[in-house]
Amino acid sequence: MNFNKIDIENWARKPYYEHFINNIRCTFSMTVNIDITDLLLELHTKDIKFYPTFLYMVTKVVNAHQEFRTCFDEQGNVGYWQSMMPCFTFFHNDDKTFSNLWIENCENFAAFYSCYLENMQKYGNVKDIVARKNVPPNTFPVSCIPWANFTSFNLNIFADGMYLLPIITGGKYFEQEGRTLLPVSLQVHHAVCDGYHASVFMDELQEQATQCRQWLIIE
């Protein structure tokens, strides 16, 4: 859980960071339909749940790029975590509420999937906004709205506008021209991410889905 402070004076992104922190503090979101046709087929064949698979995929992309791990530490220093873990929402069907749960980042899908199942068994019935306490600082938020195949999604944080980490939301997948598509929304802070980085995120998420047979192993 190493936090690496950024030397702002020698940071190539300094003018952009300072502009979008001091002059025009803003976030932006992008929603893209990810083709999960082959991924779903593989999941059904191997009897693997979709949601933890989605969590694993986005965690892999987040950890592949410093831009998605950049934030402030408790002292207000800007820097980036060496690695991050997902803190995700899950739904309570009986009373239509949700809870947040974080799980450890794992090197491979089999270990991640096992960790997900174990934690859901332990905390899945906890009725609190945070089901597993002591949330580590190196987590990022992920959620899913499986009831709507939205075309856009934006989460508004009414604070000081200094939340730099990505916010990822999946929607309800749907059929179109013989393919199955999943709407995915990514919200980022312009101080650390541009449209290029958001596009890279979506491209690599699509690559994860397309190449699922290479890593979707639980044995």
Structural domain spans, the chain? 3-214
Return mean pLDDT, the chain. 96
Contacts with 92 (C-beta within 8 Å, 6 or more apart), sequence order: 98, 99, 127
Percent of the chain's residues with pLDDT above 90? 95
pLDDT of residue 57: 98
> Does domain 3-214 correspond to CATH entry 3.30.559.10?
yes
Q: What is the mean pLDDT of residues 1-14?
A: 95
DSSP 132: S
CA dist., res. 106 & res. 186, Å (int): 22
pLDDT at residue 48 tops 90 = yes
At 66-97, the pLDDT tens digits run 999 999 999 999 999 999 999 999 999 999 99
pLDDT of residue 106: 85
pLDDT for the residue 90 = 98
- pLDDT, average across residues 183-205: 98
197 is catalytic: no
Tokens for 175, please give them.
């059929």
**In the prediction, which pLDDT does 44 show?**
97
Residue 133 has pLDDT above 80, yes or no: yes
Kindly tell me if the per-residue pLDDT of 129 is higher than 80.
Answer: yes
d(CA 146, CA 150): 10
Taking 90 as the threshold, does the pLDDT of residue 135 lie above it? yes
Q: Which of 19, 44, 65, 190 is catalytic?
A: 190
Structure tokens at 66: 């410093």
Tell me the average pLDDT across 143-162: 93
For the entire predicted model, the pTM comes to 0.97
Q: Supply the pLDDT for residue 30.
A: 97
| Percent over 70 (pLDDT), the chain | 100
